[in-house]
Structure 1
Amino acid sequence: MSETLRPDNVFSTNYKTYTHHVDPFFHAKETFLFEVLQEAAGRHASLKKLSIPDLNRERRTWMITRTRLEIDRYTIWPEDIHVQTWGQEPVKLFFTRGTKGCLADGSPLFTAISWWAVIDTLSGRPVRPQEINDRLGIPPVDNDHPRIDSSYNKRLFFADQDLIPLKEFTPSVRYEDTDSNHHVNNVAYVNWLMEALPDEFRNTYKMSWIDVSWLNQTYRHDTVRMLTGIFPGEGLDSPVPHLFHQLLRVEQDGSQTPLFIAETRWKHRAELVPAYCEQKTQPNISETAR
């Protein structure tokens, strides 16, 4: 893996799509894209002495609060994703990060904007984001460094919307879902979102857009519920399904705490993985491996 931090404060790296990153059709999993976003951000920060281990020595840590990701195409095993990521101007108390992925020929794969906070672990309060920007450095404002829109709308909850509920999913919080902050890693929530969906839907569609917010921390022995709802007229068999997702923690007194909400849009695999047109049936991995 090659990586470069350019003088204009843009970090470049690449990631190969390995077999453990793909679904039964050899197409990249949705969670793989979130792993790429997380790893690219971490590597960039580490080169500026702002990684989580670096910040822990200052009694601080990173916390992601929201990501909006638009997907143009999914990689196929074993294609490479070429990634560029950079810091952008703060929004209120949030540090913002833009990220783009493409193929080797420059064909776009995805565009993402993420909102982060650096938390003082003693007080629990956020650090002013301009301090982080000054240490990380951001690209100049010019035509060669366009910004990704970092404006955002207020989030609604499941009960606030006219949704058609799907079957509820109850994830098990595994040790492997936790990270160095000793709570559930942000990628695990997206994996639970995917697990809550019917197999046939996942065989037919891939996520094309997601706006996701992490609201509260989840811990190893929490009891959690994943709710999924369909916006009327945009169901599981529509050309562009439109779904809403919410994770709740069941407290000991029976109350429920929102942990995670996401809105997603989906497209048929053939629109997001061109090679799928040549491979219309689910591959038999055991046969392929012979």
Structure 2
Amino acid sequence: MKDKVFKKTYQVSINSVNINKKLGLFGILGYLQDIATVHAEVMGFGLEDMIRDQSFWVLVRQKLRMTKFPAWNESVEIQTWSRPPEGMYAFREFEIFLDGEKVGDCSTVWMILDGVTRKVKKPDFPMERINPRTDYHLDYIAHKVEVRDNFEKVNTITVRNSDLDLNMHVNNTKYSQWILDSTPIKLHKTAKLNEFEINFMAETHLGDAIDIYRARNEEGEKSHDIVYKGVRHSDGKTCFLANLLAD
């Protein structure tokens, strides 16, 4: 029986740090994507396995919580596991450790799409193959981001070749990069990100123009509570919603 919890260590490279010499949002999401991909391969749910089944995984929702971001050259250990599926959804969770101290965690929600029809398929694999963790789970699950009514357009992104992954889809981490590119540099310098939550709502394709909108929440205890949405310019369809909490 394979271990339910899969672990991998990452040394924070110069390519993963931000202007504050810390591991940035785009970098940590890349690490999470990498370990999820590797673990899926180990468990028999990897790219080639899904291709043979004429299916593919799609990330539907993700929520990341961080208390501390590692610095350049520090090493982080990431642990990941599956939760038991519910209905049409599959769940993967992560915990992030720096020198043995937990500094973050992440909840992700996934669905399986038929590679031909693009319709949702139930993740009805044998439970022993899924090998979910049942002794422990995070105290939250990524949910729907609340839509606000005070959006203002702040940027337009055109999907480029470098945004695509090996499935010819826009890489999930790229959406966070679009958001970071639409955030004032002052916030990059002064704000500390605590939570990042994103809902993926529609596929985007090479050449699509995506209008980025921002809505701030002036109320509450958080210094920065911002919702972003990406809207495809050609048809007005919302492709993602994301919420950032920072102080």
Instruction: Give the partner amino acid of 2:233.
Output: V
Report how far residue 17 of structure 1 moved. 0.5
TM-score (norm 2): 0.93
Task: Confirm or deny: 8 A CA contact 1:113 1:149 kept in the other structure.
Answer: no
Does residue 52 of the first structure (1) align with residue 32 of the second (2)?
Answer: no
Larger radius of gyration: 1
Report how far residue 240 of structure 1 moved. 2.5
Distance 1:154 1:78, change over 3 A: closer
Instruction: Give the partner amino acid of 1:128.
Output: K
Instruction: Give the partner amino acid of 2:125.
Output: E
Report how far residue 108 of structure 1 moved. 1.4
Distance 1:65 1:239, change over 3 A: closer
Report how far residue 133 of structure 1 moved. 4.9
Task: Confirm or deny: 8 A CA contact 1:102 1:108 kept in the other structure.
Answer: yes
Instruction: Give the partner amino acid of 1:186.
Output: N
Does residue 29 of the first structure (1) align with residue 24 of the second (2)?
Answer: yes
User: What SS is found at the alignment partner of 2:155?
Assistant: coil
What residue is the counterpart of 2:121 in the other structure?
127
What residue is the counterpart of 1:242 in the other structure?
225
What residue is the counterpart of 1:212 in the other structure?
198
Which of 75, 81, 89 does residue 80 from structure 1 map onto?
Answer: 75
Q: 1:183-194 counterparts in 2 under 5 A? A: 183-194=169-180
- How far apart in 2 are the matches of 1:128 and 1:135? 15
- How far apart in 2 are the matches of 1:132 and 1:71? 33
What residue is the counterpart of 1:276 in the other structure?
none
Instruction: Give the partner amino acid of 2:155.
Output: F
Report how far residue 12 of structure 1 moved. 0.7
TM-score (norm 1): 0.80
Q: 1:102-113 counterparts in 2 under 5 A? A: 102-103=97-98, 105-113=99-107
What residue is the counterpart of 1:67 in the other structure?
62
Which of 239, 242, 246 does residue 262 from structure 1 map onto?
Answer: 242
Report how far residue 220 of structure 1 moved. 0.7
Task: Confirm or deny: 8 A CA contact 1:91 1:150 kept in the other structure.
Answer: no
Report how far residue 208 of structure 1 moved. 0.8
Instruction: Give the partner amino acid of 1:240.
Output: S
Distance 1:133 1:179, change over 3 A: farther
Does residue 147 of the first structure (1) align with residue 137 of the second (2)?
Answer: yes
Q: In the TM superposition, what whole-angstrom CA distance separates every residue of 1:28-71 from its partner, at most 9, and x where no partner exists?
A: 11111111111110000111221112211221111101001101
- How far apart in 2 are the matches of 1:126 and 1:241? 36
Q: In the TM superposition, what whole-angstrom CA distance separates every residue of 1:50-100 from its partner, at most 9, and x where no partner exists?
A: 111221122111110100110111010101110110000213311001100
Task: Confirm or deny: 8 A CA contact 1:45 1:136 kept in the other structure.
Answer: no
Report how far residue 172 of structure 1 moved. 2.6
Instruction: Give the partner amino acid of 1:211.
Output: E
Report how far residue 153 of structure 1 moved. 4.5
Task: Confirm or deny: 8 A CA contact 2:66 2:195 kept in the other structure.
Answer: yes
Report how far residue 125 of structure 1 moved. 2.1
- How far apart in 2 are the matches of 1:38 and 1:239? 28
Q: Which has the higher strand share?
A: 2
Percent identical? 22
What residue is the counterpart of 1:231 in the other structure?
217
